[in-house]
Amino acid sequence: MALFDQISKDIIAAMKAKDKERLETLRNIKKVFIEAKTAPGANDTLDDSAAMKILQKLAKQGHDSADLYISQNRQDLADQELIQVKVIEEYLPKQMSTEEIEVAVKEIIAFTGANSMKDMGKVMGLASKQLAGKADGKTISDIVKRLLA
């Protein structure tokens, strides 16, 4: 089942369960999906890989918002954001640990023969493709920089 269809089905389930937070989050996801489907050049379609990228972006925005609210001593708003992020993350693949990312990046460095910061672009290009959806780009970048330095 396509991710878009799964979200639609889960909205109905959340309505029946009277789960307000989940319902609100799923409706927001569906709204963003529909906006992406109707964007110029989208041909009124949304494949699962594009949907995953949208979900990753929403999860990252939620984490960033929660961090901002915490820094402003608004734990109530941070908690709401984190509840939404938890729902979003149910649809994302399991994220890799820092150790797993480091192992994968070491393999990529060995494969490409990179040995200095000049080769960072080559390593990042391959790492971003291989670890897409499984690891945050900033984390990958930090590990690549550390290993190539």
In this prediction, residue 6 has a pLDDT band, given cuts at 50, 70 and 90, of very high
Shared-domain flag, residues 77 and 12: yes
Instruction: Identify the pLDDT of residue 9.
Output: 95
Residue 132: its pLDDT value, please? 76
Contact residues for 112 (Cβ-Cβ < 8 A; gap 6+): 119, 122, 123, 126
Domain final position from 70, 89, 108: 89
Verify that 54 and 124 share a domain, yes or no: no
Same domain, 116 and 51: no
Residue-number span of the structural domain to which 125 is assigned: 98-148
**Number of compact structural domains in the chain:** 2
- 20/78 same-domain check: yes
Instruction: With a cut of 80, say whether residue 43 has pLDDT above it.
Output: no
102 and 127 part of one domain: yes
Residue 133 has pLDDT above 80, yes or no: no
> Which CATH number goes with the domain that contains 26?
1.10.1510.10
pLDDT of residue 80: 94
